[in-house]
Amino acid sequence: KLGHFKPKTILTVRKARALAESQIDLLRDMDMPVTKFGMRASLNEDAAERGKAIRKELELHHLRSEGTTDKQALEHTIEAVTGLGVMVYQLSLTQDGLRGFSILDEEVPVIVMKRGGETATARLFTLFHELGHVMLGDGGMCDLQDADSQSVEKWCNTFAAEALLPSAEVKQHAVVRKHQADALGMEWSKYELALIAKDYHVSLEVVLRRLLTEGLTSKKFYEENHEKWKDKAFGRTKKGQTRDTVASKIQERGRPFVRLIFSAIDLERIGPLQASQLLDVPMDRFAHARQLVA
C-alpha cells in the first residue's frame, strides 16, 4: 500500500512490472511461448521435502562443481528458475530494509532481488525464499529481520535452506565428519562454517542454522553467534568501487531477457533504438553487452 513503503521502493516495484511486461511482449513478438509457472505448494506440505524436490528439478547439485564461483552459481540458478516460468530481476533496493520481493498479479510471477550491496550468496537465498512465496501463491517482501515466527516466512526459509544446503548432505560433509571425529562438541569455528558455505554457495548464518536444525550445535551457541556471522551486507556500492554500467544493466534484466533482445534484433523483429531502450544501454555498447551474455 502507498504510504507503507518509501517512494524509491514503490518505484522499484513499478520498474519490475514494466520489465516483466516488456519481456512478455517481446516473447509474443518473437512468436515464442510465455512459459506458465505451474508449481504450487501449501503450508500443510513439508517445506524441506519441497526444497529437496526443487533442488532435483533444477539440478542444483551441479553448483558444487569444482571452481564454480558464487556469482556463477547465482547466474546459473537465475536462468534455471526463469525456465520454470518466473521473471527474475536484480534491482536497486536501498530503503525499507528489503532483500527482495515477489509479485503474483502479473501474467507471469516476478521475483526481484536486491542488487547493490548484497553478496551473491545472500541473493541466492533470497531467490529461493521468494520462489517459496510464489509456490505458496503469497507474494511477499523479504526484509532483513528474522521472521521465523511467521508461518509463511518460516516455510519459505526452510524451503530455501533445503534447496541450497540439503540436510541429508550436512552430516556427510567432510568438515562435519572431521569435527565429530575430533570430538569438538557443539561449538564451531568460523573457518569450519566457511568451508561448508563455500561448497554450497550459502552464507555462514545459513550453515549455522542448518547445524542447529540437525542437532549439531546448541541453541545457545547459535544465538550467541548467528547475528555475528549473519550476512549483513546491505547498502549502496562502496565508495571508490567502479561499476561496469553495461554489466549492471544486464544484471538487472537477467541474461535470458538480454539474449532475447539480441535475438529480436538479429531477426529484425525490433530495431536498434527499441533494443537500446529495452536494455537501457547505448547502441555503441551492444558489442560489449553481447560478449557478457554469450
Q: Report angle CA 283, 249, 70 to the nearest 5 degrees.
A: 135
**CA nearest 247: which of 239, 236, 255?**
255
- Grid cell at residue 90: 536484480
Q: What is the pLDDT along the chain (294 residues), one digit of tens a residue?
A: 556 788 888 899 999 999 999 999 999 999 999 999 999 999 999 999 999 999 999 999 888 887 889 999 999 999 999 999 999 999 988 777 788 999 998 899 999 999 888 899 999 999 999 999 999 987 666 654 545 448 888 999 999 999 999 998 998 999 999 999 998 899 999 999 999 999 999 999 899 999 999 999 999 999 888 877 765 443 334 444 446 789 999 999 999 999 999 999 999 999 999 999 999 999 999 999 999 998
Tell how many helices (H) and how many strands (E) occur in the chain.
Answer: 14, 4
Q: Is the pTM of this model over 0.75?
A: yes
CA distance linking residue 87 with residue 81, whole number of Å:
8
- Distance set, CA 242 to CA 8, 75, 247, 252, 288 (Å): 23, 21, 11, 17, 17
Residues forming a β-bridge with 89 = 112
